[in-house]
Structure 1
Amino acid sequence: MNTATQPLKLKTALKTYPHTRALKAGELTDLAIELAFEDVEPIHRAFAPMARHQAYDVSELAIVTYLQAKACGKPVVLLPAVVAARFQQGCIIYDARNGTLDVSSLAGKKVGVRAYSQTTGMWVRAILEKTYGVPLDQIEWITIEGAHLEEYRDPPFVRRVEPGKQLVSMLRAGEIDAAILGNDLPDEPGLEPLIDDAAAADRAWYALHRYVPINHVVVVTKTLADTHPHAVRAVYDLLCRGKASVAAENAGKPDKLLFGYDALRGPLEETLAFCEQQQLLPRKLSVDEILADSIGILGEAGR
């Protein structure tokens, strides 16, 4: 085969979801590209290498990590594709064996989160403040890791514990009063959601905001976007086809896979506002600046 007709091989980091399974299994393909998937487990281990050094051509990335990377001038380009989203109100827990706790009594308490910049933490803080009126500046935020971006520095009200500490064990020991956890939420008697009937609270949040909080998006390197825009279009088309492959099973449910500039604009504006309020960004970003990186490549296909 002539090398000119061979597909462009793209080093790719994507978690296996129902909507990415067919891509990763080679059932959905494009003649222009070959997605060479790296085995990254858990997927958040790909985020720092991608944000810092563009370790992949195509990568899943937490939305806060992407926004920080963009604000810091990193050469990454957002595709208008959400690959992971979830309702967040069940993600803050406490140990009921240490006494009762609720959102009205969080002021003055210690709340742990893996990193202050973790996307789940950003969403939970936004919900605590905007929905429940919790004064975030009256909480002592405890972290066990730093940000995926080396340039980012935690605000002065955030305290990092010594290496080796884990949030769940700190919660059991009473060293923190509550903890924000994502995919690592424990199923353990005594560890209870802080927000009563979190599922109902999430439904109420959705009724007001009309989108599911965004966790992970897809980015490509600026080098790929500049030199092989056809490949970027092919990547986005495959992601769209992956979403379409699970459309029937997701019918009638809140759309957790927002695709396209029009669908993302409002949620991105609100996400940016939350990040700015929580001192997560080193400079102000606009949605137009973010979308400009790919809109010239995807055009109407990205609408």
Structure 2
Amino acid sequence: MADPVRLKTVLGTYPHTAALKSGDLRSDEVALDFVEVEPVHKAFAPMVRRAEYDLSELAIATALQAIAYGKPVVLLPAVVASRLQRGCLIYHRAHGPVTPRDLAGARVGVRAYTQTTGLWLRAHLAEDYGLAAEDIRWVTSDPAHVEEYADPAFVEHVTADRSLPDRLRAGEIRAAILGNDLPEGDEFAPVISDHAAVDRAWAAKHGFMPINHMVAVSQDTARSRPQAVRAAYALLKQAAAAAPAPADGMSRTMFGFDRLHDAVELTLATCADQRLLPRRLTVGEVFADAEAILGDLGA
């Protein structure tokens, strides 16, 4: 029997990737050689700029931009990170309460304008409060992972020498969007006070959670080793199916072209509204290469 094809891989550590990273779940056809990147978003630019990895977790906003700009990546119908987002918009209590309607014309910090958590918060602010992306001055320190993308004129760039919580403490920004680095304790408070209830109602209405990260493979890997890609995708699905159910009952994973159609279509519309894409994409275009490789496996 031939040795399994080895794929240089970056995935975050989640309950639904644990069996893959521990080696408890394996395949005779493919071996995932994991590279640990912390935080995982630091793998995104090398993936879309240089195809640094064979298989990598990728923010959905970055993935859609990469496809629109013709970068050599193939997006698989595999979601590995989703989150209810409204609680990620915070203010500093010492400067007085802040409501969503106070953000019109205000400076709001986010790591990058293209960060997916920021994408969803802006969508929620528009949907719930009528605040368009351009109604707020977005203060960022990081550029887009896709080099060709230029931020809109209402985005301000600052140096990365101070964290967003520190900028909040200093009163430089009115609010900030943070993700996995959301600070704990009573020093900060959510701008959207009833965020949990509104988020759950949104997820119930749409039938999915807002997507943060998916999985992509390099175009070269997809073309030269398609069977290994199919085997890797099957492993991802197996690992997710075997993972413990989340405590809140809301799945962070999702697989399959049909299951992802509505979620990706909404994300594409949101990206267009926020000037994140150079041209309109369709769901069919987003998954065309993956569908050719996965076939019925991606159903």
Aligned to 1:203: 200
Question: Which runs of structure 2 are paired with 1:99-178 in the superposition (5 Å)?
Answer: 99-178=96-175
2:58 to 54, 58, 61: 61
Question: Unpaired segments of 5 or more residues in structure 2?
Answer: none
Tell me what 1:265 maps to: 261
Measured in 1, the distance between the counterparts of 2:204 and 2:128 equals 13
Match of 2:32 among 32, 35, 46: 35
1:190 is displaced (CA, Å) by 2.4
Query: Over aligned residues, Cα RMSD in angstroms?
Result: 1.3
Q: Is the 8 A contact 2:245 2:251 kept in 1?
A: no
Pairwise CA distance, 1:250: 4.0
Structure 1 residue 251: Cα displacement: 8.9
Normalized against structure 1, the TM-score is what?
Answer: 0.96
- Percent of residue pairs bearing the same amino acid type: 53
Residue in 2 aligned with 1:278?
274
| 1:144–1:166 Cα contact (<8 Å) kept | no
Task: Output the amino acid matched with 2:274.
Answer: Q
Structure 1 residues 241-252: aligned runs within 5 Å: 241-246=238-243, 249-250=245-246
Residues 141 and 158, structure 1, Cα contact 8 Å, conserved in 2:
yes
Shift of the alpha carbon at 1:252?
8.2
Alignment-derived partner of residue 190 in structure 1: 187
Size of the aligned set, in residue pairs, is: 299
Q: TM-score, normalised by structure 2?
A: 0.97
Cross-structure match for 1:256: 252
Aligned residue type for 2:119: M
Structure 2 distance, partners of 1:286, 1:194, is 33
Query: In the aligned structure 2, how far is the partner of 1:190 from the partner of 1:145?
Result: 25
Instruction: Provide Cα deviations, 1:225-281, integer angstroms capped at 9, x if missing partner.
Output: 1111111110100001001112x5249823321100011000000000000110111
Q: Moved runs in structure 1, 4+ residues, more than 6 A? A: none
CA distance in 2, matches of 1:261, 1:193: 35
Contact kept? 1:144, 1:165, Cα under 8 Å: no
Q: Deviations over 1:119-155 (max 9, x none)?
A: 1000000011012222432211111111111111110
Of 47, 50, 54, which residue of structure 2 is paired with 1:50?
A: 47
